[in-house]
Amino acid sequence: MAERVLVTHSTEETIRCGREIGKRLTPPVLILLSGDLGAGKTTLTKGLASGLGAAQEDEVTSPTFTLVHKYERGARLYHVDLYRIASSEDFETLGLEDIFDERAVVVIEWADKLDLETESPILRIKLEHVSENERRISIDDAAGLL
């Protein structure tokens, strides 16, 4: 499966979509999330963590102010949010490079702000606001992870 596009019609449906993806992942995997504020990146991550078995969906909250959250009940998932990071910074400055050496799923919101260099297989997911409760989710699985 190279690219798949779907539209969800509720918060719960987006979580479910994340859960289905999370179930299929074998770490290490880097998941790059793009999309505007409110597009559903954090909501999708709730499902990813739940499907992977790293956290329950209600334990997953936005790391906007903390930069990174770590969940590891069983599998390990890092949830990074670069929203408040200047685009000129690099990953070493942020002190995040070590997480790529771990066998974890790393989910990054606003990933396009940085030039990421990693050996990990990558899954790109773009979320777009369609209407109040609809989101278009485009999954680019060029590495064939799903």
Whether residue 27 is preceded by a cis peptide bond, meaning omega within 30 degrees of 0, is no
Using the rule CB under 5 A, is 42 a contact of Mg ion? yes
- For residue 7, what are the CA distances in angstroms to 30, 67, 76? 23, 28, 28
Query: 89 CB contacts (<8 Å, ≥6 apart)?
Result: 114
Backbone φ and ψ of 138, nearest 5°: -110, 120
Among 21, 32, 42, 111, the residue binding ligand ADP under the rule CB under 6 A is 42
Q: Give me the least distance between CB of 118 and ligand ADP, in Å please.
A: 22
Q: Give me the least distance between CB of 142 and Mg ion, in Å please.
A: 24
Using the rule CB under 6 A, is 43 a contact of ligand ADP? yes
134-140 and 122-131 strand pairing: antiparallel
Number of residues that bind ligand ADP (CB under 6 A): 19
* Residues of span 74-113 touching ligand ADP by CB under 6 A: 109
Using the rule CB under 5 A, is 41 a contact of Mg ion? yes
Using the rule CB under 5 A, is 43 a contact of Mg ion? no
**DSSP percent split of the chain into helix, strand, coil, nearest 5:** 30, 30, 40
Interacting partner of 10 out of Mg ion, ligand ADP, none (Cβ under 5 to 8 A depending on kind): ligand ADP
Binding site residues, ligand ADP, CB under 6 A? 8-11, 13-14, 35, 37-43, 62, 109, 133-135
